């Protein structure tokens, strides 16, 4: 079941969902709009190896906006820090963003119960498009679980993205191969 606006507000009051900063006007009938943070990260090399960490550059989006170009993976981040301790959060792009040819994630739309962080966005564009820090970029949808989770994300030994960070976090997939 997807939570309604009333259920999202009730879950916030019960501290089962935390959104910081919380903007009442960002609450839709069954979702919450998240906004693009001020930084993007791009990898320094065009070829990546899944078993290696890669250097990257941080770009601050200027007040006048920044043009994104096709063929580049931009790691963005939400302004909002979120926690969900009783619900499964899904992050979907806003339809207006999709109609501009902007995709906000390659594969990672589902969060886990116990995910506590800003959302890293895997942004790609179909044609050049100008973006701005603070623009609504996606919407969080919260689903109920059939039962409580045995172990929340932040408590899992193999969880890689648990350090609170307002900057886009590059892939840590390479950590799966440590010690091999």
Active site residues: 122
Going by C-beta distance under 8 Å and a sequence separation of 6 or more, which residues neighbour residue 77? 36, 37, 39, 118, 119, 120, 121, 166, 167, 168, 169
Residues 141 and 2: their CA atoms lie apart, in Å, by 7
Cβ atoms of residues 40 and 76 within 8 Å: yes
Q: How far apart are the first and last CA of the chain?
A: 40
φ, ψ for residue 92 (rounded to 5)?
-120, 150
């Amino acid at each position: 079941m997807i939570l309604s606006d009333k259920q999202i507000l009730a879950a916030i009051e019960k501290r089962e969902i935390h959104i910081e900063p919380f903007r009442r006007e960002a609450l839709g009938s069954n979702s919450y709009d998240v906004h693009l943070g001020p930084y993007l990260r791009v990898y320094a090399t065009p070829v990546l190896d899944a078993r290696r960490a890669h250097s990257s550059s941080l770009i601050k989006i200027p007040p006048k906006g920044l043009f994104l170009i096709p063929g580049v993976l931009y790691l963005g981040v939400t302004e909002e820090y979120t926690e969900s301790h009783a619900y499964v959060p899904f992050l979907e792009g806003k339809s207006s963003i999709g109609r501009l040819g902007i995709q906000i994630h390659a594969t990672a739309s589902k969060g886990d119960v116990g995910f506590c962080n800003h959302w890293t966005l895997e942004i790609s564009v179909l044609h050049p498009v100008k973006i701005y820090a603070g623009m609504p970029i996606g919407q969080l949808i919260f689903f109920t679980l059939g039962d409580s989770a045995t172990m929340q994300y932040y408590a899992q030994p193999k969880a890689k993205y648990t350090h609170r960070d307002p900057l886009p976090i590059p892939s840590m997939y390479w950590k799966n191969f440590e010690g091999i």
